[in-house]
Amino acid sequence: MPYRITQETPALSRLDLRPHQSLGARGFVWFIGLTAAFLALPLLAVLGTLVLWGLLPFLLVALGAVWFALSRNATDRARLREVLTLSRERMVLTRHQPRGGPLTWEANPHWVQLQLTEKGGPVENYLTLRGGGREVELGAFLSPEERVQLHDDLNRALARLR
């Protein structure tokens, strides 16, 4: 699971959410290697001609762009996370963005409403917390099934605090 609920004390729980890292280091190497091989295939037809030197820079730029995009995506996903701290007096959600400062929401857990919108929301199984005059999305990067499981686990954690 991309999230973990820890019971730090009987009156304090912490929920850590992180997105999946679907492409590991080995997969990255394989993908870049196969992309380089497929980009090099058209060069076989022009081997030994001046056309090779005209095409080569464009193919290297394309491979570099793929490398950069995958690296940037992995770095951004590693930095993205949400931390929800639950206590009897206060509930604090902090979203750590890949770029920019953290976003924070807090409310009294007694008045917080946890809502799962199965259909009709922006995404399937849209999970939100409402309280403190605001409504915030929780686990935007989770799959619909994971949001349902998180809803059930978080409901139990909130029931223990109330």
Q: What percent of the chain has pLDDT over 70?
A: 99
23-63 per-position pLDDT tens digit: 889 999 999 999 999 999 989 999 999 999 999 999 999 99
Is pLDDT of 80 > 80? Answer: yes
CB 106 within 8 A of CB 129: no
146-156 per-position pLDDT tens digit: 999 999 989 88
Q: How far are the Cα atoms of 29, 31, 37, 110 from residue 26, in angstroms, in the given order?
A: 5, 9, 17, 46
DSSP the chain: --EEEEEEETTEEEEEE-----S-HHHHHHHHHHHHHHHHGGGGGGTTSHHHHHHHHHHHHHHHHHHHHHHHHHHHHHH-EEEEEEESS-EEEEEE-SSS--EEEEE-TTT-EEEEE-SSSSSTTEEEEEETTEEEE--TTS-HHHHHHHHHHHHHHHHHH-
119: confidence class by pLDDT, cuts 50, 70, 90: confident
115: confidence class by pLDDT, cuts 50, 70, 90: very high
The first and second tokens of residue 126, run together, are: 């849209």
How confident is the model at residue 110, as a pLDDT?
86
Is pLDDT of 122 > 70? Answer: yes
pTM of the shown model: 0.76
Question: 8 exposed, middle or buried (CB, 10 Å; 0-12, 13-18, 19+)?
Answer: exposed
1-33 per-position pLDDT tens digit: 688 888 877 778 899 999 888 888 999 999 999
How confident is the model at residue 1, as a pLDDT?
61
